[in-house]
Amino acid sequence: SYELTQPSSVSVSPGQTATIACSGDVLARKYARWFQQKPGQAPVLVIYKDSERPSGIPERFSGSSSGTTVTLTISGAQVEDEADYYCYSAADNSWVFGGGTKLTVL
Amino acid sequence: QVQLVESGGGLVKPGGSLRLSCAASGFSFSDYYMKWIRQAPGKGLEWVAYISTSGSTIFYADSVKGRFSISRDYARNSLYLQMNSLRAEDTAVYYCVRGRQYGDYEKEDYWGQGTLVTVSS
């Protein structure tokens, strides 16, 4: 089975840049997506196709990819960006999530 | 506007069955593949099942294969998940998710609010 590995937590001060990496062999051949989930809410898509941003997602959210690692970057993180972030990718007739990263902004 | 509304969750004993429903509205249901994704209390997200736009292709996570069955009804614009032989580890919020294939990438842009399934004696 495939695995995606991301840090369990990241902390930044407001206005700083937050970076969350996600690694896995499948990322070398499949695009990644990133979801944001706030407490008690359903996840929201913030990045798809490694680096594309859906309409309505602030420009401070960006994604990049290199080899078997994808990275979510939040430039100038805001207090409202505090949430859990999950990377996600297709595999062989299945789909896999990273374990999630709790982003703290304070 | 796009809406996905899950229902059918509740408390069930180990070994029991439950059928989840997801009512879709505000978009062309047959143009999107659908998935069930779950989240155990305090845990991360786990993909459970996938059904293609036509309903002809279905995949399951190994953890539910042989016990769960996904289906869709185009006349009712609804997605279903029949869950049998339920186990304590199936306890989770179950989300209905729509997605679309664009060549070599996918985009899943709407999730329902989820329905809680609790498996306990």
Render pLDDT for A44-85 as a digit per residue (tens, 0 to 9).
999 999 999 999 999 999 999 999 999 999 999 999 999 999
Name every chain B residue with its beta carbon within 8 A of the beta carbon of A90.
106
Q: Which residue has tokens 């729509």?
A: B98
Q: For B70-94, how does the pLDDT look when each residue is reduced to its tens digit (9 = 90+)?
A: 999 999 999 999 999 999 999 999 9
* For residues B5-12, average pLDDT: 98
CA nearest to A43, candidates A57, A25, A30, A29: A57
Q: What percent of chain B has pLDDT over 90?
A: 98
Q: What is the pLDDT of residues B20-30, one digit of tens each?
A: 999 999 999 99
Q: Is A99 on the interface with B (CB under 8 A)?
A: yes
User: Residue B11 to residues A42, A53, B21, B86, B91: CA-CA distances in angstroms?
Assistant: 21, 38, 16, 11, 9
Residues in chain A with CB shorter than 8 Å from the CB of B47 are: 94-97
| pLDDT exceeds cutoff 90 at A1 | no
Nearest to A32 by CA among A50, A11, A55: A50
Q: Answer whether residue A92 shows pLDDT above 90.
A: no
| Facing A100 at nearest CB: one of B44, B108, B109 | B44
